[in-house]
Structure 1
Amino acid sequence: MIVAALVPMILCAGMAFGQTAKLDDLFNKLKAADPQAAERIEQEIWIEWSKSGSAAMDLLLERGRRAMSAGQLDLAVEHFTALVDHAPDFAEGWNARATVLYQMGQFGPSMADIAQTLQLNPRHFGAMSGFAMILEDLGRPEQALEVHQAVKAIHPNAAGVSEAIDRLTADLQGSSL
């Protein structure tokens, strides 16, 4: 099952090496940054993650993102599918498709794309956060909490992660009473 395979992968993600020296440097800075600096660093990481090395693949990513923003989810899936078909080693293509599939309520295919994203980029806190959301939607709060904690270890100031950890911890403690 995908969930069983992904949780251990995510918990070890903090030990993974980056794709480039620039990303390694950004991740080191991210861990020590204050919230305002973390936001800027996170944007720099997303910019690096969005570079496929091919203008044509970058265009497919951009078109898919525009379609997703416009609510044209089927068209976005088409663009992202073409992207992962032509650039299967480009993690952000898989992550983008995982995101739109989640928005369409297709949790299984979304988790499969998250797994591929994390295999290619084990520090992808965006994919991890998406996985945690799916786990919550599936009624798996313990596993969601573990994944949120893994995100926090990589990106201590990730939007909503501390709140999710606090909420899930309180919910789980309350359910054990």
Structure 2
Amino acid sequence: MVMLRVHLKPAVAALVALLTLGQPSFAESRDISELLSELQSAKAPEAQKIARDIEIRWSASGSASANLLLKRGEDALEARQFTKAVEHFTALTDHAPAFAEGWHGRARAFFGLGEYGLALADLRQTLALNPSHFGAIYGLAALLEQLEKPEEAYDAYKILLNLYPAHEKALEGVSRLEPSVNGVKL
């Protein structure tokens, strides 16, 4: 019986470590909150670095198979193979439906295919899972602008700028749409 305890202690410690280290910690989620807070006051070069750090953390699924599907989808997007990207991201959303990056990637692929209704649905799902997802908010604004809904696109750009004030494309979008939405100032 004593021998059993000696062998169990390392096994139990290993199991506890595995379960603890395998889960996102409070510190990790707090880090993203802190990074989002820093993003709100950062200037352009630093803001881009912070945004990239946030995106990297959002991309960490915690699953090797989900990470592989995400990588394959991203590679297909980069190669402009939108149909293939949809297939990979669909497999990812089936495998990990609570992982916002799968929905966001598939929305981008649908946008590339001109499937705006499907892209919009996936952007909504992304934002339901991660309301601070500035990439999805930008995608929504760009999609609304493509659909010739300038007021809604303008509002989405403004929401994005509340999260990420140095977002260059959102700043350009607001400048471009300001005259048509709010009129020309005399």
Q: Which secondary structure state, in structure 2, belongs to the residue aligned with residue 88 of structure 1?
A: coil
Residue in 2 that maps onto 1:69: 78
Residue in 1 that maps onto 2:48: 39
Residue 46 of structure 1 deviates from its aligned partner by 0.7
Which AA in structure 2 matches 1:43?
R
Q: Which 5+ residue runs of structure 2 have no aligned equivalent?
A: 1-27
Distance 2:95 2:172 in 1: 38
Residue 138 of structure 1 deviates from its aligned partner by 1.1
Residue in 2 that maps onto 1:10: none
CA RMSD of aligned residues (A): 1.7
Distance 2:64 2:151 in 1: 41
1:53 aligned to 2:62?
yes
Residue 171 of structure 1 deviates from its aligned partner by 2.2
Residue 172 of structure 1 deviates from its aligned partner by 2.5
Residue in 1 that maps onto 2:169: 160
Residue in 1 that maps onto 2:17: none
In the TM superposition, structure 1's runs of 4+ consecutive aligned residues that sit over 4 Å from their partners are none
8 Å contact from structure 2 (residues 154, 181) kept in 1? no
Distance 1:121 1:71 in 2: 26
Residue in 1 that maps onto 2:30: 21
Q: Percent same amino acid among aligned pairs?
A: 43
Q: Which 5+ residue runs of structure 1 have no aligned equivalent?
A: 1-18
Q: Which secondary structure state, in structure 2, belongs to the residue aligned with residue 111 of structure 1?
A: helix
Residue 90 of structure 1: which of 93, 99, 107 is its match?
99
- Note the alpha carbon deviations across 1:10-54, whole angstroms, 9 max, x for none: xxxxxxxxx811110100110111111101001101101101110
Residue in 1 that maps onto 2:136: 127
TM-score normalized by structure 2? 0.82
8 Å contact from structure 2 (residues 158, 174) kept in 1? yes
Which protein has the larger Cα radius of gyration, Structure 1 or Structure 2?
2
Distance 1:56 1:173 in 2: 48
Distance 1:94 1:56 in 2: 16
Which AA in structure 1 matches 2:85?
A
- Note the alpha carbon deviations across 1:63-89, whole angstroms, 9 max, x for none: 111111112111111100000000000
